[in-house]
Amino acid sequence: MLRPDYNRLDLSGPTRYLDSLKNLIQLDSLKFDKAAHDYSEDKNTADAGGLLRDPQTGSSRMAMDGSMEYAMFQMLDTMQVGKISAPLPYRTEDGKSAVRLLYFKSKVPPHTADFTKDFEKLQTIVLQNKKNRAIDDWFKKSIADVYITVDPEFHSCRIFGTTQNSAANLSGGGN
């Protein structure tokens, strides 16, 4: 499979278009959420008025850390709250080149978790913990019923520094 060189695609037209929308927003002739709803081709954010969601948690609050797309992090790290970025090229989830504007709506400084301010994040943590406990409970209950066998053809395969044969001896089950 061959992929085109995405760095060579001409994004000047979309960039100029977004730059003109940015100017209208800055002049207060157009609200950011209205522009996102009316002009964005990304239906996930357009329907939410341009609001990005954390892909892992679904929360509207995104952590400004290594989990964020690097170019977006760089842009937001230097922006002030209430400002709009210059048109920023990025790659969509399906690998297409695109351009977007970022509006830095708010920033929550580091703080001790508070139930009223951090409900979404706490809810996500609690739900993930419940899921992990359920999987652990299932695993503990089912381990006696699970037996792992390795075809002799693969006994010489190396996994995590051990041979498949020794790994099978360690993880064989069902007494």
158: part of which helix (H) or strand (E)? strand 158-159
Closest CA to 97 of 2, 6, 5: 6
Cβ-Cβ contacts under 8 Å for 75 (sequence gap 6 or more): 85, 88, 102
Domain ranges of the chain: 6-100, 119-171
The predicted-structure confidence for 118-171, as pLDDT tens digits, reads as follows: 787 788 888 989 999 999 998 888 888 877 788 888 888 876 555 444 444 444
**pLDDT tens-digit series, residues 80-99:** 888 999 998 888 877 788 88
CATH class of 6-100: alpha beta
Contact 74, 57 (CB under 8 A): no
